[in-house]
Amino acid sequence: MRAAIYARYSSENQRDASVEDQIRLCNERIKREGWTLVGTYTDRAVSGASALRPDYQKLLQDIRAGRTDIVVAEALDRISRDQEHVAGFYKQLTFEGVKIITLAEGDVSELHVGLKGTMNALFLKDLAAKTHRGLRGRVEDGRSGGGLCFGYSVKKEFDSRGEPVRGGREINAAEAKVVNEIFSAFANGESPLAIAKRLNRSGVAGPLGKPWGPSTIYGNWRRGTGILNNELYLGRIIWNRLRYLKDPSTGKRVSKLNARSEWIIKENPELQIVSQELWDRAKVRQSTIRTRIETNAGVRSERARRGTYLFSGMIRCGVCGGGFIMANTIHYGCNNARTKGTCSNKLSIRRDQLEAAVLHGLKNRLMRPDLLKEFVAEYHRELNRLRDEADAGRQAQLRELQKVDSDIRAIIESVKAGFRTDAMREELESLEAQKLALKANLKVKVDPVRLHPNLATVYQDKIEQLHAALNDETTRVEASTILRQLVEEIRLVPEGGQLRIHLTGALAQLLVLAQNKKPGLRETGLQVTMVAGAGFEPTTFRL
């Protein structure tokens, strides 16, 4: 039997040796069983709540390729703490005929998936609640409940037992001087852009050692972000202003503003850097700017600053990786080159030319009917595989449910016949719990999405309609939202004195599938950048 080991630890604060300990214990089990080790997969300092782990994904690829018969881990929560991911992992391995063996649970079954998945989810929720409670206690004592912000250093303190007391902060004199300079310059009429450029030219490092930018200084007054909105500079600690949730569709953390009644506010005069008079002067100017923007634009000031063009926020510089912004009313230019002076990419591109080139690429290059037809065929094959996998897992669960029902009936018949023991009662309770878990799993049934057989023709029509909608002011916003689902990123790379456009997005998956069938696919001006083993991951093509 071929066995693969998976090991993981979740936090940078945990020991890196934790993974080595897991591997050693799993190796001992493999040797005792006489199995053959064919691979070791490790993810270090990665949360088990996310499936976006490099070696976890590589393990799945190797399982689909038939390279292993058994996956060995220390416990099921090392594989994942997310109920959906655990169930999906188990279904995938069941379909491939691969067993999961853990040192804690043994031979993993549907019962473990149901119960342990629920327990792991509850553990994460309980851990978050305890962490939140601990941080609040720290803030109530006048200490920091968050990270280290610009202007302060960590104050090392220890209790009577020699244990570190966390959350202590003290003023960093050099950075505090910069904070006062920023407030004074802004209050005296200098713009955040001019301040950022001047600081970068002077070699003054910004927060986390990064270059200064206008948004770093101005921030968002509602959320309390940015130098000009940080009330800690007044000696006032504000905690729980924001809460962070994980978007289930992307796995990324998203911040949400809490109601003001939920904020925890504590005064700590020892941490005051900016005088009340200077703070008030800066706030008066900030309020004046905000009122003028909201009056003229008719929207909140922070929204007024958001891009209104078709690809705003999606364009990146191919040199520094920073964003491209409207340098004037016509051209896009690198933000870092123009506002920070930290990038050498001084080239610009007309907005209308960029939009036309991207739409042309989507309509005339990427949407070739032969590529789309190949995609449809491949997609239907994948759907059939998923249906077969789901059916196999469901049939296995139904058989397990029948067996559990049979065992329950046998115990009931024994009780009727007069045989009653504590062991029988415990076994009956265990079987009932297993039955409930199986029934809950069987209720969940997701039908794969079916594609229209004439997708190539249909999609060509949709692209034509999309192009027309983008030129119609009444439908431009909705059409732009649809287009943003197709294109993930536009990267502008300087080549020969011009900017070459590289697109990354979900539509590039069609080229991946087509190129698997036609290795020689190549067009003038269109280069496909393949990602090894990426499967359905977004890839890049060049205009």
pLDDT in tens, 429-470: 888 888 887 787 777 655 554 555 565 565 566 666 766 776
Q: Tell whether the model's pLDDT for residue 43 goes beyond 80.
A: yes
pLDDT band for position 27 (cuts 50, 70, 90): very high
Three-state DSSP class for residue 523: strand
Give residue 464's pLDDT.
67
Give residue 532's pLDDT.
27
Task: In whole angstroms, give the CA distance from residue 148 to residue 156.
Answer: 13
Phi, psi of 500 (to 5 degrees): -90, 135
Give residue 461's pLDDT.
67
Write down the residue that tokens 């553990």 correspond to. 123
Say if residues 17 and 50 touch (Cβ distance below 8 Å).
no
Task: In whole angstroms, give the CA distance from residue 58 to residue 534.
Answer: 10
Q: Tell whether the model's pLDDT for residue 4 goes beyond 90.
A: yes
| Most confident residue range from 251-255, 356-360, 538-542 | 356-360
Name the more confident of 150 and 473.
Answer: 150
Q: In angstroms, what is the C-alpha Rg of the chain?
A: 29
Say if residues 326 and 332 touch (Cβ distance below 8 Å).
yes
Phi, psi of 95 (to 5 degrees): -65, -40
Name the more confident of 377 and 90.
Answer: 90
Query: With b meaning 16 or more CB within 10 Å and e meaning fewer, what string describes 423-442?
Result: eeeeebeebeebbebbeebe
Domains observed in the chain: 2-132 (3.40.50.1390), 152-304 (3.90.1750.20), 307-389+450-543 (no CATH)
Task: In whole angstroms, give the CA distance from residue 197 to residue 212.
Answer: 7
47-78 confidence digits (pLDDT tens)? 655 666 888 888 988 998 899 999 999 988 88
Out of 236-240, 246-250, 436-440, pick the least confident. 246-250
Claim: this prediction has a pTM higher than 0.75: no
Nearest Cα residue to 47 out of 240, 253, 243: 253
Give residue 531's pLDDT.
29
Task: In whole angstroms, give the CA distance from residue 521 to residue 530.
Answer: 12
Nearest Cα residue to 38 out of 16, 18, 58: 58
Task: In whole angstroms, give the CA distance from residue 37 to residue 239.
Answer: 49
pLDDT band for position 524 (cuts 50, 70, 90): very low
Task: In whole angstroms, give the CA distance from residue 219 to residue 225.
Answer: 5
93-108 confidence digits (pLDDT tens)? 899 999 999 998 888 8
331-349 confidence digits (pLDDT tens)? 999 988 887 888 889 899 9
Mean pLDDT of 490-505: 84
| Most confident residue range from 6-10, 117-121, 346-350 | 346-350
Name the more confident of 46 and 365.
Answer: 46
Task: In whole angstroms, give the CA distance from residue 241 to residue 502.
Answer: 39
Three-state DSSP class for residue 81: coil
Residues whose CB falls within 8 Å of the CB of residue 273, separated by 6 or more in sequence, listed in order: 151, 171, 176, 179, 180, 233
